[in-house]
Structure 1
Amino acid sequence: MLIIFLKAVLLIPVTLLPILNPFGIAPVFANLIGDVPRQVENRVARQVAINCWFMLVGAIFIGSHVLTFFGISLPIVRIGGGLLVAVSGWRLLSDNEQESSIKTQVAKTYDDESNEELKARSFYPISFPLTVGPGTIAASITLGANTPARLVDWVMSIGSAAVGSALTVLVVYLCYRSANKIVSLLGRLGTMVVLRLSAFILLCIGIQIFWSGFTGLLVETGLLPP
Structure 2
Amino acid sequence: MVYDAFVGAFVALFVIVDPIGIAPVFAGLTQGTSRAHKRAMAIKGSIVALLILLFFAWAGKPFLAALSISIDALRVSGGILLFVIAFEMVMEKRGERKQETAEEIHEYFEDISVFPVALPLLAGPGSIATVILLMTDYENSLAAQGAILAALGIVILLTLIIFLMAGKVMDWLGPTVNTVLTRVLGVILAALAAQYVLDGLVGVFRPDVV
Q: Report the equivalent of 1:146.
A: 137
Residue deviations 1:77-131 (CA, integer Å, cap 9, x gap): 222222222222222222245235358888x545xxxxxxx9x752123211233
C-alpha distance in 1, partners of 2:112/2:170? 21
Q: Is 1:60 equivalent to 2:57 in the alignment?
A: yes
Distance 1:103 1:180, change over 3 A: farther
Alpha-carbon distance, 1:12 to partner: 2.5
- Counterpart position of 1:114: none
One-letter code aligned to 1:18: V
Tell me how far apart the structure 1 counterparts of residues 147 and 209 of structure 2 sit (CA, whole Å): 36
1:208 aligns with 2:199: no
- Does the CA contact (< 8 Å) of 2:10 and 2:148 recur in 1? no
Backbone CA RMSD of aligned residues: 3.0
What SS class does the counterpart of residue 72 from structure 1 fall into? coil
1:9 equivalent to 2:13? Answer: no
SS class of match (1:148): coil
5+ residue gaps, structure 1, are: 111-117
CA distance in 2 between partners of 1:147 and 1:82 (Å): 30
In the alignment, does 2:54 pair up with 1:44?
Answer: no
Q: Which amino acid aligns with 1:125?
A: P
User: Could you report, residue by residue, the CA deviation over 1:174-209 in whole angstroms, capped at 9, with x for unpaired residues?
Assistant: 122223211023333432333223221221111112
Deviation at 1:139, TM superposition (A): 2.6
1:181 to 168, 188, 195: 168
Q: Which moved more, 1:93-102 or 1:13-22?
A: 93-102
Displacement of 1:225 = 8.0
Instruction: Name the CA shift for 1:129/1:19 in 2 (closer, same or farther; >3 Å).
Output: same
**TM-score of the aligned structures, taking structure 1 as reference length:** 0.76
The structure-2 alpha-carbon separation of the partners of 1:104 and 1:125, relative to structure 1 and needing over 3 Å to count, comes to farther
